[in-house]
């Protein structure tokens, strides 16, 4: 039976688990990082914490993270996860993000995740705050009304790409190969080379065919590397 890409998001992790995952993908919170944390599911859960539970600090750091790292997000996977989320407020945040990051055409499909009237970020007082301070420029004209200054924007709240590429193997593979399922399969194999192709496909949330082809290429390069002659360059340099 063919494997279908998972579209249903995993259950919300515990607060400590989510914090460790957010730190793992480069958000600055006081916790130990979960190495290799899944990027898209962590982003989705962070948005749920912010939009459904009112954690504006998390939402602020998430928004800053997206401004820095959105080009290395697997957009296909994120769109599927957001589209299957039951919360209209969560989907409204991502629709608003698509408006804000409209230059990244891969994220344009997020705009259709929510087609209702624009929502206020704050449960009360949004209209007053908008009249007093104006709107957050990132979300002006989107599906989410955010008073200016409500979501703190500090670059130091997130790790820059040159740091995250050293810390997170999946992020590094996306920099090398592009933010694709192929890169995610590569990461899954590096982390657990003993897994079957079906399990790799599940872990990377991709089709069996994508996982199979990427796995063949990975093993081909590993075999070529292990069979390559050693020392030839060094000897040539030594006799020059």
Task: Indicate if 27 and 141 belong to the same structural domain.
Answer: yes
Asked whether 124 and 147 are in contact (CB, 8 A), the reply is no
Instruction: Please choose, from the candidates 164, 147, 145, 183, the residue with its C-alpha nearest in 3D space to the C-alpha of residue 69.
Output: 164
Would you state the pLDDT for residue 240? 34
Same-domain pairing of 81 and 46: yes
User: Are 104 and 56 in a shared domain?
Assistant: yes
For residue 226, the model assigns a pLDDT of 76
Residue-level pLDDT at 229: 63
| Same-domain check for residues 95 and 129 | yes
The model's pTM is 0.88
**Contact between residue 175 and residue 71 where contact means Cβ atoms under 8 Å apart:** no
In a domain, 8, yes or no: no
Domain count, the chain: 2
Specify whether 117 is located in the same domain as 210.
no
* pLDDT value for 8: 55
Q: How many CB atoms lie within 10 A of CB 160?
A: 12
- What string of DSSP letters covers 33-57? --TT--HHHHHHHHHHHHHHH--HH
- Residue 188's domain comprises 180-227
- 145 plus 49 within the same structural domain: yes
Kindly give the confidence (pLDDT) of every residue in the chain, 240 residues in length, as a single tens digit, with 9 standing for 90 and above. 344 454 556 789 999 999 999 999 999 999 999 999 999 999 999 999 999 999 999 999 999 999 999 999 999 999 999 999 999 999 999 999 999 999 999 999 999 999 999 999 999 999 999 999 999 999 999 999 999 999 999 999 999 999 999 999 999 999 999 999 999 999 999 999 899 999 999 999 999 999 999 999 988 988 887 776 655 433 434 433
Q: Examine the domain organization and report whether 120 and 208 are in the same domain.
A: no
Domain match, 147 and 187 both: no
Do both 136 and 213 map to the same domain?
no
Phi, psi at residue 2, to the nearest 5°? -65, 145
Residue at 235 is within a domain: no
Please check whether residue 175 lies inside any domain of the structure: no
In a shared domain, residues 137 and 205 = no
Residue 94 covered by a domain: yes
* pLDDT for position 1: 36
Residues in Cβ contact with 9 at an 8 Å cutoff, skipping those fewer than 6 apart = 41, 44, 45, 81, 84, 85
What is the spatial distance between Cα 202 and Cα 4, in angstroms, rounded to a whole number?
8
Same domain? 26 vs 126: yes
Predicted pLDDT of residue 9: 62
44, part of any domain = yes
């Amino acid at each position: 039976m063919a494997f279908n890409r998972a579209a249903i998001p995993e259950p919300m992790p515990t607060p400590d688990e989510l914090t460790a995952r957010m730190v793992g993908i480069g958000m600055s919170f006081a916790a130990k990082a979960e190495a290799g944390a899944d990027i898209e599911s962590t982003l989705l859960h962070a948005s749920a914490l912010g939009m459904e539970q009112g954690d504006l600090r998390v939402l602020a750091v998430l928004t800053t993270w997206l401004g820095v790292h959105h080009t290395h997000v697997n957009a296909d996977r994120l769109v599927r996860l957001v589209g299957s989320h039951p919360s209209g407020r969560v989907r409204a945040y991502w629709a608003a993000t698509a408006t804000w990051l409209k230059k990244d055409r891969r994220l344009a499909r997020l705009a259709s995740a929510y087609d209702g009237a624009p929502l206020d970020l704050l449960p009360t007082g949004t209209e007053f705050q908008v009249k007093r301070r104006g709107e957050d420029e990132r979300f002006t004209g989107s599906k989410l009304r955010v008073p200016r200054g409500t979501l703190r924007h500090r670059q130091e709240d997130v790790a820059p790409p040159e740091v995250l590429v050293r810390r997170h193997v999946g992020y590094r593979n996306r920099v090398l190969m592009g933010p694709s399922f192929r890169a995610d399969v590569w990461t899954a194999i590096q982390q657990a080379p003993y897994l079957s192709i079906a399990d790799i496909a599940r872990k990377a949330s991709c089709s069996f065919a994508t996982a199979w082809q990427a796995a063949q290429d990975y093993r081909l390069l590993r075999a070529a590397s292990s069979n390559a002659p050693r020392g030839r360059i060094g000897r040539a340099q030594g006799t020059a």
